[in-house]
C-alpha cells in the first residue's frame, strides 16, 4: 500500500498516511481540525531490481542506456568500501 504525504495549508502540520490508491484523499487536519490538507508530491520509495536496467537507475559516469545490441563494457560498479564513492577508502 502506498504512503502519501500531506501538509495542512492552515497550520503547516505534515503527516504521512498509508492508503490504497483507490481511497479518497484526506482533507481534515488531525492537528487543527480544518479541512485544509493537501497531498504532496514526493519521490517513490522503491527501487526496481532484477534482470532489466532502466534509464532512471543509478549509473556511474557518462553511461547511457545500453541496448542489447551494444557491446560495451558493462561491469557492475564496486560495492562501497572498494572505492565506489568518495567517502570510502579501498
What are the residue ranges spanned by the domains of the chain? 3-39
Distances in Å between the Cα of 86 and the Cα atoms of 14, 31, 61 are 34, 43, 14
Q: What pLDDT does residue 26 have?
A: 96
Q: What is the mean pLDDT of residues 50-69?
A: 61
pLDDT of residue 2: 85
Confidence (pLDDT) at 1: 79
Q: Is the pTM for the entire model greater than 0.75?
A: no
Around 5, how many Cα atoms within 13 Å sit in the side-chain half-sphere? 9
Amino acid at each position: 500500500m502506498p504512503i502519501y504525504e500531506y501538509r495542512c495549508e492552515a497550520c503547516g502540520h505534515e503527516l504521512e498516511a498509508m492508503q490504497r490508491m483507490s481511497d479518497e484523499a484526506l482533507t481534515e487536519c488531525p492537528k487543527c481540525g480544518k479541512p485544509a490538507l493537501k497531498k504532496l508530491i514526493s519521490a517513490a520509495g522503491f527501487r526496481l531490481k532484477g534482470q532489466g536496467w532502466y534509464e532512471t537507475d543509478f549509473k556511474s559516469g557518462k553511461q547511457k542506456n545500453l541496448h542489447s545490441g551494444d557491446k560495451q563494457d558493462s561491469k557492475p560498479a564496486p560495492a562501497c568500501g572498494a572505492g565506489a564513492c568518495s567517502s570510502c577508502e579501498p
